[in-house]
């Protein structure tokens, strides 16, 4: 394998800006906020600050409890997207037709569907042979036949590298993939530095999509599945380690700051949607005791900006989004940052407020006066203007 890197120095092409917005702010449509789910990740009746549910099911093993829980969650509002995993031996057509019938009987009618044989969940080198049997393109065609009213996706679901493998094809209505910050290193600095790569990762995926949409799966610190080994690494002690779904930072401020920064990167790339957390489970909005994790407040504030034109990363040194009435800004670094307050009122999600923010309804009464300049500590999130006006 031969690789070559060429660096050209010169004037950069100006990015598109929003008329009347902050200087240099990039115009974008706010992506739809989704919650990722699978069996064991649903909590009917809990907070659902999202535009939809991204439900992963193994075709032929969809249990009644999971489908009932999905119905209960969607009763709070939102639409359904499906990620269907097909057993290696399954024929895509019959398997997806049976899944469509089972979902319909449960009262579930997805608006987006992506299907994939389980063999494609594992990563492979570019020169490696594809898994035997039906591939993503075959599954896309079968999914369109089984779900004629849905938009059909093309995906390898594992991580950001896999959609770039040969054979991705030009089928389907959208492309999707997920992302994890702890594939290579798990210290705090490395996790936050991974945010520097997300804009390019998402831009590359957008380029691969071509005329199709880009709908991102779960983008998180922890790893949902391990495409490079037999499985995820157990983490019973809750330490910082790679390739695990049980990352201790999911319960703290870093997950909230990471979600804000990831959403900004998704918006910059023109993504239609992005999943940043789950209703329950290792990526859940709630902890084991049913209390809100900080990421719930961040996701709720992001979801409140749905369908707006937003300004991406409007304040130098911070990641986030702003619009006419509000702003959500994260200090996704390990050093404090002092910036002008974008609005006269707001709230800071930080060590001083983290216990109060365990109440899912914290945002509804959190706003107060802000000074002209606000200092955000490491991984603190500023919710300003209408972003602090309610979940």
The CA distance from 171 to 141, in Å, is 8
Provide mean pLDDT across the span 70-91. 93
The beta-strand segments (E) located in 171-316 are 174-176, 179-180, 213-220, 273-277, 309-312
Instruction: Inform me whether the pLDDT recorded for 93 exceeds 80.
Output: yes
Rg (CA), the chain: 21
Domain limits, the chain? 31-309, 311-388
Q: What is the pLDDT of residues 22-77, one digit of tens each?
A: 656 788 999 999 999 999 999 888 889 999 999 999 999 999 999 999 999 998 88
pLDDT score for 46: 83
pLDDT score of 176 more than 80? yes
Q: pLDDT-based confidence at 160, cuts 50/70/90?
A: low
User: What per-residue confidence (pLDDT) applies to 167?
Assistant: 46
- Strands of the sheet containing 368-369, edge to edge, are 26-29, 309-312, 319-322, 326-330, 381-385, 345-349, 368-369
- CATH class of domain segment(s) 31-309: alpha beta
110 token code pair: 């997805």
Region of poorest pLDDT, from 254-258, 369-373, 386-390:
386-390
Q: Structure pTM? A: 0.92
Q: Which of 115, 119, 162, 164 is nearest to 141 (CA)?
A: 115
Q: Residue 220 to residues 67, 125, 282: CA-CA distances in angstroms?
A: 24, 24, 11
Look at 132 and 96; give whichever has higher pLDDT: 96
Looking at domain 311-388, its CATH class is mainly beta
Question: Per-residue pLDDT tens for 281-314?
Answer: 999 999 989 999 999 999 999 999 999 999 999 9
So what's the pLDDT on residue 22? 60
* pLDDT, tens only, 320-365: 999 999 999 999 999 999 999 999 999 999 999 999 999 999 999 9
In contact, 28 and 310? CB cutoff 8 Å: yes
pLDDT for residue 14: 45
Question: What is the pLDDT confidence band of residue 166, given thresholds at 50, 70 and 90?
Answer: very low
Return the percentage of the chain with pLDDT > 90, whole number.
77
**CA gap 116, 94 in Å, rounded:** 14
Label residue 133 by pLDDT band (50, 70, 90): confident
Least confident of 26-30, 125-129, 176-180, 213-217: 125-129
Separation CA 332–CA 380 (nearest Å): 8
């Amino acid at each position: 394998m031969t690789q070559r890197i060429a660096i050209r120095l010169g004037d950069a092409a100006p990015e598109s800006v929003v008329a009347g917005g902050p200087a240099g702010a990039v115009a974008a449509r706010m992506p739809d906020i989704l919650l990722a789910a699978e069996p064991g990740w649903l909590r009917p009746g809990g907070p659902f600050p999202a535009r939809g549910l991204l439900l992963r099911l193994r075709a032929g093993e969809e249990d009644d409890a999971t489908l009932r829980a999905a119905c209960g969650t969607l009763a709070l509002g939102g639409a359904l997207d499906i990620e269907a995993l097909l057993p290696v031996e399954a024929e895509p057509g019959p398997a997806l037709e049976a899944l469509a019938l089972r979902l319909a009987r449960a009262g579930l009618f997805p608006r987006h569907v992506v299907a994939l044989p389980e063999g494609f969940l594992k990563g492979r080198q570019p020169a490696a042979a594809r898994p035997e049997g039906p591939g993503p393109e075959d599954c896309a065609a079968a999914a369109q036949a089984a779900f004629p009213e849905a938009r059909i996706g093309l995906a390898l679901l594992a991580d950001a590298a896999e959609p770039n493998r040969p054979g991705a094809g030009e089928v389907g209505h959208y492309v999707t993939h997920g992302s994890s910050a702890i594939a290579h290193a798990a210290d705090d600095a490395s996790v936050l530095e991974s945010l520097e790569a997300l804009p390019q990762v998402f831009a590359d995926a957008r380029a691969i999509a071509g005329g199709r949409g880009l709908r991102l799966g779960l983008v998180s610190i922890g790893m949902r599945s391990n495409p490079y080994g037999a499985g995820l690494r157990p983490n019973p002690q809750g330490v910082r380690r790679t390739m695990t779904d049980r990352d201790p930072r999911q319960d703290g401020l870093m997950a909230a700051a990471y979600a804000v920064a990831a959403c900004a990167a998704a918006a910059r790339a023109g993504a239609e949607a992005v999943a940043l957390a789950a209703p329950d489970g290792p990526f859940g909005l709630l902890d084991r005791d049913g209390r809100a994790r900080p990421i719930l407040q961040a996701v709720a504030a992001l979801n409140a900006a749905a369908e707006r034109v937003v300004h991406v990363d409007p304040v130098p040194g911070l990641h986030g989004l702003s619009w006419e009435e509000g702003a959500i800004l994260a200090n996704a670094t390990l050093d404090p940052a002092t910036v002008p307050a974008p609005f006269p009122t707001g709230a800071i999600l930080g060590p001083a407020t983290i216990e109060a923010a365990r109440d899912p309804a914290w945002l509804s009464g959190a706003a107060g006066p802000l000074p002209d300049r606000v200092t955000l500590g490491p991984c603190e999130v500023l919710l300003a203007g209408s972003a602090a006006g309610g979940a």
